[in-house]
Amino acid sequence: MPLEEDALFRKIRKAVGRAIGDFDLIQEGDRILVGVSGGKDSYTLLHILDSLRRRSPVRYELVAATVDSGFPGFRKEVIARHLEEFGFEYRLESTNAYEIIETRRRPGSSYCSFCARLRRGVLYSLADKLGCNKIALGHHLDDFIETLLLNQFYVGSLKAMSPKLQADNGRHTVIRPLVYVEEGEIIRFVRQHSLPVICCACPVCGEVDQKRQRMKQLIRDLRQEIPHLKRSMIGALGNVHPRHLLDPQLNDLFRSRAS
Ligand SMILES: Nc1ncnc2c1ncn2[C@@H]1O[C@H](COP(=O)(O)OP(=O)(O)OP(=O)(O)O)[C@@H](O)[C@H]1O
C-alpha cells in the first residue's frame, strides 16, 4: 500500500514532476535503479518516483538497490523490511568497501568521498546486472546550491551538480530528480510518514563535513535577509550568461559557433 498522499507529498511530487519535465529525466521503457541508502533523501526519492510512476502515461520501472559497504552495525534489514512492505523490487549488494577504505585510504583524505567513489562503481555494475539504464540518486536542492558555493569558495570553479549526467562508461545516465526539493521538506516528509531512517554506521556517520556545514550556516543566515535565496540560487544555475564569465574556453566556444 503506498504512502498517504497529503499536501506535502503532493508538493514534493509536483516539484519532482517539474524536474523530470525540465530536464527530460525519464523516458518510456526506462528501468531505473534507485540508490537507497536508508537515509531520508533516498527514501523520499523512491516513494515519490513510485507515486509518479503509478500516475504517469509514460511507462517505466523502478528497482531499489542498497550497497552494503560492510560497516559493522549497518541495519540493512530495516531497509529490506520497509521496501518489502511497500512491494518494491529490491536488491541488496554486499561489498568489502569497509576493508578497502581502512587499508587504502590515504591519511587525512576524506572518508566519505572515498566511500562514495567505491559505491558509485558498485551502483554502475549493479545497474548492468539488473538491466537498468538509469541510476537515480537522492541529491536535493540544498545539495546543489551548497556544492555551488563550496566550489566557488574553496576550489575556485563555477560548478554545482547535474540533474542528468551521462556516465563516463556511456551506458548509464545518472538522474537527480529531487533537484527542486528543499532539504527541510524532505525532513518533514520523512517524519510525517515515519520512514525508518538508518545511518550507514561508518566511523563518521551523521557528521556533516565542516566546510559544507559552513555553507549551510551561511545560507541560513542570508535567508533572514533574502527569503527567496534558495530559489534564486537554484534558478541561477539554470540561467547562465557565459559571455559574462571569464573562462577563455567559453570564448573559444562562442567563436567556433559563430564561424
Ligand atoms: N549505500 C548506498 N546504497 C545505495 N545508494 C546509496 C547509498 N549511499 C548513498 N546512495 C545514493 O547516493 C545519494 C547521495 O548519497 P549521500 O551519501 O550524499 O547521502 P545523503 O545526501 O545523506 O542521502 P540519503 O539521505 O539518501 O542517505 C543518496 O541519496 C542515494 O540515492
pLDDT of residue 160: 98
Instruction: Flag whether pLDDT at 254 surpasses 80.
Output: no
Instruction: Name the residue of 41, 49, 82 to mutate for ligand 1: max ligand atoms within 8 A of Cβ.
Output: 41
CA distances from 157 to 29, 81, 106, 152, 203 (A): 37, 42, 25, 5, 30
Our answer on whether the CB atom of 177 is closer than 6 Å to any ligand 1 atom is no
DSSP string, 82-99: HHHHTT--EEEEE--HHH
Q: pLDDT by residue (tens digit) across 165-175?
A: 998 888 899 99
Q: Name which of 15, 46, 35, 20 is nearest 193 in CA terms.
A: 46
pLDDT at 258: 66
Q: What is the pLDDT of residue 167?
A: 86
∠ CA 87-90-205 to the nearest 5 degrees? 115
CA distance linking residue 224 with residue 229, whole number of Å: 9
Nearest residue (by CA) to ligand 1, atom 23, is 41
Ramachandran sector of residue 236 (left: φ over 0; alpha: ψ -120 to 50; beta: rest): alpha
| CA gap 67, 238 in Å, rounded | 32
Question: Has residue 243 been placed in a domain?
Answer: no
Residue 76 maps to a domain: yes
Atom of ligand 1 nearest to the CA of 44: 26
**36 annotated among ligand-binding-site residues:** yes
pLDDT tens column, 36-85: 999 999 999 999 999 999 999 999 999 999 999 988 899 999 999 999 99
Label the pairing between strands 164-166 and 173-175.
Answer: antiparallel
CATH value at residue 43: 3.40.50.620
Is 100 among the domain residues? yes
| Residue numbers of the domain that contains 141 | 7-205
Residue 2 lies in a domain: no
Residue 239 falls inside a structural domain: no
Question: What average pLDDT does the structure give for the chain?
Answer: 93
pTM of the entire predicted model: 0.94
Find the 145 Cα to ligand 1 centroid distance in Å: 17
Is 41 annotated as belonging to a binding site?
yes
pLDDT for residue 12: 98
Is 184 domain-assigned? yes
At residue 239 the predicted structure's pLDDT band, cuts being 50, 70 and 90, is very high
Lowest mean pLDDT among 72-76, 99-103, 128-132, 151-155: 99-103
113 occurs within a structural domain: yes
Q: What is the ipTM of this complex?
A: 0.96
Closest residue by Cα to atom 2, ligand 1, is 37
Which one of 42, 137, 182 would you pick to mutate in the ligand 1 pocket, going by the greatest count of ligand atoms within 8 A of its CB?
42
In angstroms, rounded to a whole number, what is the distance separating the alpha carbons of residues 31 and 28? 9
Distance from Cα 238 to the centre of ligand 1, integer Å:
24
In a domain, 1, yes or no: no
Ligand 1, atom 7, lies closest to the CA of 37
C-alpha of residue 247 to centroid of ligand 1, in Å? 33
Number of domains in the chain: 1
